[in-house]
Amino acid sequence: KAGVTQTPRYLIKTRGQQVTLSCSPISGHRSVSWYQQTPGQGLQFLFEYFSETQRNKGNFPGRFSGRQFSNSRSEMNVSTLELGDSALYLCASSLGAGSGGYTFGSGTRLTVV
Amino acid sequence: DQQVKQNSPSLSVQEGRISILNCDYTNSMFDYFLWYKKYPAEGPTFLISISSIKDKNEDGRFTVFLNKSAKHLSLHIVPSQPGDSAVYFCAANEDNAGNMLTFGGGTRLMVKP
């Protein structure tokens, strides 16, 4: 059974650019959540999508956005990149609503220069 | 304001002994708690969880204890093995918050042979 797949694994972008990260959840999982991990702030929740609808959103600026497709795959987009956006971006999938069963991908390491 | 705190950034334990990792929370709406293990450049791996209706959950060498009145949970690893060396995160979820997890800052566990 394939796990959560995130692409690309590594990315280097310049300040002011935008970036799109992709996440393919485990087959059958309908919920996809995104997290940002930085040394200073730890793991912080970005947003969650379920059946193509954003269900929850963390405390991040509007430059961070996402979407989910009908096959449950999800993308997140960061526009007008800042140096502080350098982080490991993690995606987690689960079957549906409620607790438990979260499986994380290996993440995308974004470096903004 | 950190709603989930892991006050020990690191812990060193001898192989074969017990490792105890602690986590405190402030949000009384949290009703489900999880522990994750994380290696560098990888996504967190789910270890064990506990619902607020229980005070203990055991899975092999891993046991999680929940003290709701103290808003405190702990993860016990017995016996500790060198392969357990990693960063451990506790996370919490509210019943009506979908799959949004609030993470602690992590504790780096080092198990010495």
Higher pLDDT pick, B13 / A28: B13
| Span B40-88, pLDDT tens digits | 878 999 999 999 999 999 999 999 999 999 999 999 999 999 999 999 9
Q: B50 contacts in A (CB within 8 Å)?
A: none
pLDDT band for A62, please (50, 70, 90 cuts): very high
Higher pLDDT pick, A94 / B77: B77
- CB-nearest to B49 from A45, A92, A100 is A100
Local structure of A35: helix, strand or coil: strand
First-to-final CA distance of chain B:
38
- CB-nearest to A45 from B51, B101, B106 is B101
Q: Do B43 and A90 touch (CB under 8 A)?
A: yes
Q: B45 contacts in A (CB within 8 Å)?
A: 104
pLDDT band for A97, please (50, 70, 90 cuts): low
Taking CB atoms within 8 Å and a gap of at least 24, the contacts of B81-84 are: B81/B15, B81/B111, B82/B15, B82/B111, B82/B112, B82/B113, B83/B111, B84/B19, B84/B37, B84/B109, B84/B111
**At residue B98, does pLDDT exceed 90?**
no
In A, minimum Cα distance to B52 occurs at: A99
Q: Do A42 and B105 touch (CB under 8 A)?
A: yes
| Span A28-38, pLDDT tens digits | 999 999 999 99
For an interface test with B, give the residue of A99, A104, A111 to mutate (most B CBs within 10 A): A99
Q: How many CB pairs under 8 A join A and B?
A: 78
Q: B102 contacts in A (CB within 8 Å)?
A: 45
Q: Which residues contact A87 (CB under 8 A, 6 or more apart)?
A: A36, A37, A38, A109, A110
**At residue A100, does pLDDT exceed 80?**
no
Residue B109: which H helix or E strand, with range? strand B107-112
Q: Which residues contact B24 (CB under 8 A, 6 or more apart)?
A: B4, B5, B6, B7, B70, B71, B72
Task: Specify the pLDDT at position B61.
Answer: 98
Q: Which range has the top average pLDDT, A91-100, B30-39, B73-82?
A: B73-82
Q: Do A105 and B43 touch (CB under 8 A)?
A: yes
B-contacting residues in A 36-95 (Cβ below 8 Å): 42-45, 48, 50, 55-56, 58, 88, 90-92, 94
A-contacting residues in B 46-105 (Cβ below 8 Å): 46, 49, 51, 89, 91, 93, 95, 97-105
pLDDT band for A101, please (50, 70, 90 cuts): low
